[in-house]
Structure 1
């Protein structure tokens, strides 16, 4: 999700000067959220996501039909039927869950979210079937996933645009939490906002919580990952890096004669 109410997109320069230009823009943003406001936002994280889903219901995010193309592990085996178990972090209202259940009959999917309202939307969907999925509320920064999922029982975990909503100080503990429910050899599939993404460059002064960590106008958070920082987080937790790269996409607004570069990080990590 892009931040709300931001200044116009920054026109795209050449690929060669993108990083230098981004550093220059970010170097001017030195104002951080005051400490009292920082703590208030930390304490109201779940509430702000509930309010987000109250406003937008099931209409904000598009269904993710691209995931099996980017991550072959999500595709059906094509051979003798085998059962795999997956956990989707930050399931929202089911935009990943239901398209994947449609294309892969071999998967059982656990789906969790910080927002009670979002999980209620998932369960209210006519496609929700307890024989194929289980949705539950969980704050992965605080609550053990083993309260809802047997230890070391999962083949896969998807973390798509979810760890960016976790405060940097809580990321290591969150990854350790994932590790408890993943089988040895199990894989975390990761995609999220990358360093110098256009969304990062468009935050207004006063939105910065910490280095590369921002608050949107609706009180939700967004962190922008470097591949180096992401690799460090997972390696320290005992994961092997299978893939870790930037994905850069140019988005063109022809009406405004502007283009901007969206930068994402896509990665796969295997539990050793």
Structure 2
């Protein structure tokens, strides 16, 4: 066999493309994080060297080692065939620059809210159409302008999250694709249904549709603005994608109608009572034998090195329910809803749970 056509050579080009793109991605977003922190300190003053819980925060080198491990896992999953090499490894430079400019325009306002502990501006001045939404939702989560309630916020959200995670947010989300692949490999995707709870801008569902284009999906979210962004992102698959405005604790879908439910980065933003209701609702809409693939922040003790970041996060990014979430017993919570934990793993700053709907 010619060396140029050998399996090892065939893998080399995608590996190089992945390595180059992800290195550039981390440098781009991590650089913005550092610059934004420097701008913010001019407004808020220097942060504490030790967070409120007394545990040290890991340094940049330790964080980069964790991120490097995530990217290695991501590439290994691609090479194992769990999901495709992302089509947007090299995003449109114009969009990158436009989003970065918008992000930095908002940094002083975010920093002002952090300094003044002004976290409910959207409740005092509600955007159109937001008045009937739950009070726990009408907040400036992350101190971001508009909370989750405006077109501007929806447009900027994915960029903000990538800055927060130093370019690792998409790679964390892609870990959810592995149990989806395993669940679908013995089933016809056209016969199955997937519900993404708190779908936001629909970015994760674009990963699903890239890999399972014939799988019918539903994006559920409370924010009309974010659902409009999701509609734009899912436009190539509009015929097999539905959008529903609703709360996770009151899903307007039939009992036993879904084969897969996904829920990514929602529970740390829910009050404890609502968290339990949402778990029960996700279990209700699953078929027996269906799976919930759940991803959210790491919790205390998952990776002790991260415990100092867990201490600091609620103060730095206005997360009023995060401290309770960080200590919540998720397997017990889901077991009470009729979901059995099948597996759990860590991915950088997130944890992944795969849970199965037990027979009624």
TM-score (norm 1): 0.66
> Which of 198, 222, 241 is residue 114 of structure 1 equivalent to?
222
Separation (CA, whole Å) in 2 of partners of 1:80 and 1:90: 25
- 1:240 correspondence with 2:327: no
State the match for 2:246 in structure 1.
138
> Aligned pair 1:43/2:135, yes or no?
yes
Alignment counterpart, residue 330 of structure 2, candidates 225, 230, 233: 230
Summarize the Cα distance change of 1:138–1:128 in structure 2 as closer, same or farther, 3 Å threshold. Answer: farther
* More strand, by proportion: 1
Greater RCO, CA 8 A, separation 6+ = 1
CA displacement at 1:117 relative to structure 2: 0.8
SS of the aligned residue for 1:59 comes to helix
Give the count of matched residue pairs.
218
Q: Normalising by the residue count of structure 2, what TM-score does the alignment of the two structures yield?
A: 0.51
Look up the SS of the partner of 1:135 in the other structure.
strand
Aligned-partner Cα distance in 2 for 1:79–1:210? 39
Gaps of 5+ in 1: 16-36, 214-222, 250-261
In structure 2, how many angstroms separate the alpha carbons of the residues matched to 1:150 and 1:92? 22
- Tell me which residue corresponds to 2:109: none
**Do 2:200 and 2:226's aligned partners in 1 also have CA atoms closer than 8 Å?**
yes
Q: Which residue of 2 aligns with 1:52?
A: 147
- Would the aligned equivalents of 2:268 and 2:321 in 1 still touch at CA under 8 Å? no
Contact preservation (8 Å) 2:194, 2:215: yes
Q: Within 5 Å, give how 1:1-272 maps onto structure 2.
A: 7=47, 10-12=56-58, 43=135, 45-46=137-138, 48=140, 51-53=146-148, 54=150, 55-61=152-158, 64=170, 67=173, 69-75=175-181, 77=184, 81-83=188-190, 84-125=192-233, 127=235, 129-141=237-249, 143=250, 145=251, 147=252, 149-196=253-300, 197=306, 198-203=308-313, 204=315, 209=320, 212-213=323-324, 223-225=325-327, 229-245=329-345, 247=346, 249=348, 262=349, 264-272=350-358
Please give the alpha-carbon distance, in whole angstroms, between the structure 1 residues aligned to 2:209 and 2:171. 11
Rg (Cα) greater in structure:
2
TM-fit CA distance, 1:153: 1.3
- Shift of the 92–225 alpha-carbon distance from structure 1 to 2, 3 Å rule, reads farther
Secondary structure in 1 matching 2:281: helix
Structure with more of its chain in helix, by fraction:
2
Give 1:164 shift: 1.4
Cα distance change, pair 130–11 in 1 and its aligned pair in 2 (3 A) = closer
Deviation at 1:68, TM superposition (A): 5.1
CA contact (8 A) 2:298 2:351 kept: yes
* CA distance in 2 between partners of 1:97 and 1:208 (Å): 25
CA distance in 1, matches of 2:201, 2:280: 25
Does the CA contact (< 8 Å) of 2:209 and 2:237 recur in 1? Answer: no
> 1:113-140, CA deviations, whole angstroms, 9 ceiling, x for partnerless residues?
1211101111234625442110111112
2-structure distance, mates of 1:236, 1:132: 32
Residues 265 and 66 from structure 1, CA distance in 2 versus in 1: closer, same or farther, beyond 3 angstroms?
A: closer
Find the residue that maps to 2:279 and give its secondary structure: helix
What secondary structure is seen at the aligned counterpart in 2 of 1:156? strand
Q: 1:86 touches 1:156 (CA, 8 Å); kept in 2? A: yes
SS at match of 1:45: coil
Deviation for aligned residue 1:174: 1.1
1:96 is displaced (CA, Å) by 0.3
The 3-state SS of whatever aligns with 2:247 is: coil
